[in-house]
Amino acid sequence: MAVELKAIRIDKPEDVNVILGQSHFIKTLEDLYEACMNTGPHIRFGVAFAEASGDCLIRAEGNDPELKEIAVKNLLKLGASHCFLIALREAYPINLLNTIKLIPEVCTIYAATANPLQAIVAETEQGRGVIGVIDGFPPRGVEADSDAEARVRYLKNLGYKR
């Protein structure tokens, strides 16, 4: 059995965060929608889920047509069944990631990021599956004291530290 590996870029604007994961049931779409909505009324999102059996459709929901389209287009490119992608604005993955992890049908979270993202996809004669991700860029060095101070200031500016 031959396996081919491919790196598939997730296309999105710089200001959009994405959460890429795997789930196992059609109910996933409704549960992910509710998880996003329960984060707060300010969040803008689109979520798409790729079925692995039956009609094998990409199902999509959301409250922002552009973000919904981003989620759908990226899942079409991935071509990997049972994957989901959430595209977010006006919220960060940290605001809803634990809620998503608690959804019973969610199996794996591959990435939650605003960085440039590539999904590593394995393809066989049966289909495709995500086996990992490349999130952002490689390290360029080790944090110095001034870098640590800048990190803490940044977290304070975001409202995550006092």
- pTM over cut 0.85: yes
51-76 core/surface letters (b: 16 or more CB in 10 A; e: else): bbeeeeebbbbbebeebbebbbbbbe
Domain spans, the chain: 4-158
pLDDT of residue 41: 86
Q: List the structure tokens of 80.
A: 């990997």
Please tell me the number of Cα atoms within 13 Å of 35 on its side-chain side.
Answer: 25
pLDDT tens digit sequence for 43-93: 999 999 999 999 999 999 999 999 999 999 999 999 999 999 999 999 999
Q: Which CATH number fits domain 4-158: 1.20.1540.10, 3.40.50.410, 1.10.260.40, 3.40.1520.10?
A: 3.40.1520.10
Note the Cα 12 to chain centre separation in Å: 11
pLDDT tens digit sequence for 134-159: 999 999 999 999 998 999 999 888 88
130-140 core/surface letters (b: 16 or more CB in 10 A; e: else): beebbbeeeee
Residue 136 CA to residue 101 CA, distance in Å, equals 22
pLDDT of residue 143: 94
Interstrand relation of 58-62 and 4-10 (parallel, antiparallel or unpaired):
unpaired
| DSSP H or E stretch at residue 120 | strand 117-123
Q: What is the DSSP code string of 131-154?
A: EEEEES----S---HHHHHHHHHH
Residue 36 CA to residue 17 CA, distance in Å, equals 13
pLDDT tens digit sequence for 85-119: 999 999 999 999 999 999 999 999 999 999 999 99
Smallest CA-to-CA distance from 62 within 52, 53, 76, 72 is with 72
Give the pLDDT band of residue 125 (cuts 50, 70, 90): very high
